[in-house]
Amino acid sequence: MKSVAVLKKPKMITGVNSFECSFDAKSINESFARLLVSAFVSQLDPTVADMTDLKTAVSEAVTNCIVHAYRDREKYKNARVYLSGVYFPDGTVSITVKDKGCGIDDIKQAMEPLYTTSPSDERSGMGFTVIAGLSDKLKVSSDVGKGTTVTIEKKVFGG
Protein backbone atom coordinates (compact mmCIF):
# COMPACT_ATOMS: atom_id res chain seq x y z
CA MET A 1 0.00 0.00 0.00
CA LYS A 2 1.31 3.41 -0.93
CA SER A 3 0.83 6.45 1.28
CA VAL A 4 1.90 10.02 0.95
CA ALA A 5 2.12 12.76 3.57
CA VAL A 6 2.50 16.37 2.60
CA LEU A 7 3.37 18.86 5.27
CA LYS A 8 2.30 22.31 4.37
CA LYS A 9 3.58 25.13 6.45
CA PRO A 10 0.54 26.81 7.98
CA LYS A 11 0.08 30.48 7.33
CA MET A 12 0.91 31.85 10.74
CA ILE A 13 -0.49 35.31 10.90
CA THR A 14 -4.16 36.06 10.64
CA GLY A 15 -4.43 39.45 12.29
CA VAL A 16 -3.33 41.55 15.19
CA ASN A 17 -2.02 39.74 18.24
CA SER A 18 -0.75 41.09 21.53
CA PHE A 19 0.54 40.11 24.98
CA GLU A 20 1.29 41.89 28.22
CA CYS A 21 3.03 40.84 31.43
CA SER A 22 5.23 42.02 34.26
CA PHE A 23 8.06 40.47 36.24
CA ASP A 24 10.45 41.33 39.07
CA ALA A 25 13.30 43.65 38.07
CA LYS A 26 15.98 41.02 38.63
CA SER A 27 18.77 40.21 36.23
CA ILE A 28 17.72 36.57 36.18
CA ASN A 29 14.65 37.77 34.27
CA GLU A 30 16.64 39.24 31.37
CA SER A 31 16.73 35.81 29.75
CA PHE A 32 13.09 35.28 30.66
CA ALA A 33 12.19 38.45 28.74
CA ARG A 34 14.20 37.24 25.75
CA LEU A 35 12.33 33.94 25.82
CA LEU A 36 8.96 35.65 26.01
CA VAL A 37 9.78 37.85 23.04
CA SER A 38 11.07 34.97 20.96
CA ALA A 39 8.01 32.84 21.73
CA PHE A 40 5.72 35.68 20.71
CA VAL A 41 7.60 36.72 17.59
CA SER A 42 8.18 33.16 16.40
CA GLN A 43 4.48 33.07 15.53
CA LEU A 44 5.46 35.27 12.58
CA ASP A 45 8.14 32.86 11.40
CA PRO A 46 10.87 35.55 11.35
CA THR A 47 14.43 35.10 10.13
CA VAL A 48 16.95 34.13 12.79
CA ALA A 49 18.63 37.51 12.29
CA ASP A 50 15.44 39.51 12.89
CA MET A 51 14.60 37.40 15.90
CA THR A 52 18.08 37.89 17.37
CA ASP A 53 17.93 41.64 16.75
CA LEU A 54 14.62 41.97 18.56
CA LYS A 55 15.71 39.83 21.48
CA THR A 56 18.93 41.79 21.88
CA ALA A 57 17.14 45.14 21.68
CA VAL A 58 14.54 44.13 24.24
CA SER A 59 17.23 42.70 26.48
CA GLU A 60 19.09 46.05 26.53
CA ALA A 61 15.89 47.88 27.49
CA VAL A 62 15.07 45.37 30.23
CA THR A 63 18.63 45.59 31.60
CA ASN A 64 18.26 49.37 31.78
CA CYS A 65 15.15 49.02 33.94
CA ILE A 66 16.97 46.68 36.28
CA VAL A 67 20.27 48.55 36.61
CA HIS A 68 19.22 52.18 36.17
CA ALA A 69 15.50 52.69 36.85
CA TYR A 70 15.51 50.84 40.15
CA ARG A 71 19.08 51.62 41.11
CA ASP A 72 17.89 52.78 44.54
CA ARG A 73 16.66 49.39 45.75
CA GLU A 74 15.74 50.77 49.18
CA LYS A 75 13.27 53.10 47.58
CA TYR A 76 11.81 50.66 45.10
CA LYS A 77 10.75 47.67 47.12
CA ASN A 78 8.38 46.39 44.46
CA ALA A 79 10.58 46.91 41.40
CA ARG A 80 8.89 45.46 38.35
CA VAL A 81 9.38 45.51 34.60
CA TYR A 82 6.31 45.73 32.38
CA LEU A 83 6.71 43.99 29.04
CA SER A 84 4.15 44.00 26.28
CA GLY A 85 4.07 43.37 22.58
CA VAL A 86 1.86 43.56 19.56
CA TYR A 87 2.21 42.51 15.94
CA PHE A 88 0.24 43.52 12.90
CA PRO A 89 -0.68 41.76 9.66
CA ASP A 90 1.98 43.75 7.76
CA GLY A 91 4.74 42.10 9.82
CA THR A 92 5.42 45.00 12.15
CA VAL A 93 6.28 43.98 15.70
CA SER A 94 6.19 46.50 18.51
CA ILE A 95 7.58 45.65 21.95
CA THR A 96 7.22 47.98 24.92
CA VAL A 97 9.44 47.84 28.02
CA LYS A 98 8.29 49.99 30.88
CA ASP A 99 9.40 50.69 34.44
CA LYS A 100 8.11 52.77 37.32
CA GLY A 101 11.56 53.81 38.45
CA CYS A 102 13.57 57.03 38.67
CA GLY A 103 13.03 58.24 35.10
CA ILE A 104 15.46 60.08 32.80
CA ASP A 105 15.71 63.86 32.94
CA ASP A 106 17.54 64.38 29.62
CA ILE A 107 16.53 61.66 27.17
CA LYS A 108 18.50 63.15 24.28
CA GLN A 109 21.71 63.02 26.28
CA ALA A 110 20.94 59.55 27.64
CA MET A 111 20.57 58.26 24.08
CA GLU A 112 23.91 59.58 22.92
CA PRO A 113 26.51 56.91 22.17
CA LEU A 114 28.83 56.24 25.12
CA TYR A 115 26.76 58.28 27.56
CA THR A 116 26.30 56.44 30.82
CA THR A 117 25.55 57.43 34.39
CA SER A 118 27.19 54.26 35.68
CA PRO A 119 30.71 54.08 34.26
CA SER A 120 31.93 52.38 37.42
CA ASP A 121 29.61 49.43 36.77
CA GLU A 122 31.37 48.87 33.46
CA ARG A 123 28.34 50.02 31.50
CA SER A 124 29.34 50.95 27.98
CA GLY A 125 26.73 53.63 27.42
CA MET A 126 25.84 51.94 24.15
CA GLY A 127 22.50 50.40 25.10
CA PHE A 128 20.23 52.90 23.36
CA THR A 129 22.59 53.06 20.37
CA VAL A 130 22.44 49.28 20.02
CA ILE A 131 18.64 49.26 20.33
CA ALA A 132 18.31 51.99 17.69
CA GLY A 133 20.62 50.13 15.33
CA LEU A 134 18.74 46.85 15.65
CA SER A 135 15.24 48.25 15.31
CA ASP A 136 13.31 50.24 12.70
CA LYS A 137 11.95 52.66 15.25
CA LEU A 138 12.82 53.46 18.86
CA LYS A 139 10.70 55.65 21.08
CA VAL A 140 11.68 56.64 24.60
CA SER A 141 9.46 58.61 26.91
CA SER A 142 10.20 59.32 30.53
CA ASP A 143 8.90 61.17 33.54
CA VAL A 144 11.39 61.90 36.31
CA GLY A 145 10.26 60.13 39.47
CA LYS A 146 7.60 58.17 37.61
CA GLY A 147 9.40 55.95 35.15
CA THR A 148 10.41 55.25 31.59
CA THR A 149 8.75 53.65 28.59
CA VAL A 150 10.76 52.29 25.67
CA THR A 151 9.02 51.12 22.50
CA ILE A 152 10.94 49.12 19.94
CA GLU A 153 9.47 48.52 16.51
CA LYS A 154 10.71 46.18 13.81
CA LYS A 155 9.21 44.80 10.63
CA VAL A 156 9.95 41.09 10.39
CA PHE A 157 8.44 40.49 6.97
CA GLY A 158 6.84 42.36 4.11
CA GLY A 159 9.81 44.65 3.41
What spatial distance separates the first Cα and last Cα of the chain, rounded to whole Å? 46
Residue from 84, 86, 123, 136 in contact with ligand ADP (CB under 6 A)? 123
Distance CA 44, CA 148 (A): 28
Report in angstroms how near the CB of residue 123 gets to Mg ion at its nearest: 6
Amino acid at 34: R
Q: Which of 29, 34, 64, 80 is catalytic?
A: 64
95 and 54 in contact (C-beta within 8 Å)?
A: yes
Closest to ligand ADP by CB, 46 vs 101, is: 101
| 29, 64, 135, 151: residue in contact with Mg ion (rule CB under 5 A) | 64
Nearest to 14 by CA among 89, 87, 90, 86: 89
The residue type of 10 is P
**Site membership for Mg ion, residue 101 (CB under 5 A):** no
- Provide the sign of the torsion angle of the four alpha carbons 36, 34, 147, 86, taken in this order: negative
Q: Using CB under 6 A, pick the residue from 57, 65, 81, 95 that binds ligand ADP.
A: 65
Residue whose Cβ sits closest to ligand ADP: 127
Q: Which does 118 bind (CB under 5 to 8 A by kind): ligand ADP, Mg ion, none?
A: ligand ADP
- Give the one residue of 36, 62, 93, 110 binding ligand ADP; rule: CB under 6 A: 110
Select from 5, 146, 150, 157 the least CA-distant residue to 63: 150
Catalytic residue among 17, 30, 71, 123: 123
Footprint of Mg ion (CB under 5 A): 64, 127
